[in-house]
Amino acid sequence: MNKDKIAPEERTHIDVLHADHMAWFKQLDFYKDELVVLTNRLAEVSMKNSSVEERQGVEQFQNRFIREREVIDILEHDIKLHENKIVKEVEENPLAATKSYHTYHSGLADRMTTMEKLFADLRVEFNQFLTKWM
């Protein structure tokens, strides 16, 4: 895409893109750590209860935690690809890369926002499950 043809609301500088990437990596690390905590709590519930309903809930949350980890891994990969693209641009032409506008990564930003919302919803549902079975 011709960088001169980027709509003003979709333009940003390379340092903003990089800062977003670094912030997102930290957020994703936090979510990975939180998944470990949630998984440990789930194991506690599993050891204390043995009803069919509880076992179904445990299995359901195990699957959701696995899927959430996959989503995090895919996001990390895609962010890393975008970061590598930026690095390549800077290496090829440092002055132009840092002085010109770049297309904002709205797709990645939207995916991060969606993941954060879904993770928050998962946390609320899991806490309700814990309240019922702990």
Q: Give the model confidence (pLDDT) of 20-79 as tens digits.
A: 999 999 999 999 999 999 999 999 999 987 789 899 999 999 999 999 999 999 999 999
Cβ contact 1:89 at 8 Å: no
Predicted pLDDT at 8: 46
Share of the chain above pLDDT 70, in %: 87
Burial class (CB in 10 A: 0-12, 13-18, 19+), 76: middle
Q: What is the largest CA-CA distance in the chain?
A: 65
**If you average pLDDT over every residue of the chain, what do you get?**
88
pLDDT at 2: 46
Residue 11 bridge partners (DSSP): 103
Compare 85 and 58 and report the one with higher pLDDT. Answer: 58
Q: Determine the pLDDT at residue 97.
A: 64
pTM of the model: 0.83
The structural domain count of the chain equals: 1
Q: What is the distance between the alpha carbons of residues 46 and 88, in angstroms, rounded to a whole number? A: 48
Asked whether residue 113 carries a pLDDT value surpassing 70, the answer given is yes
Range of the domain at 45: 3-133
pLDDT surpassing 60 at residue 104: yes
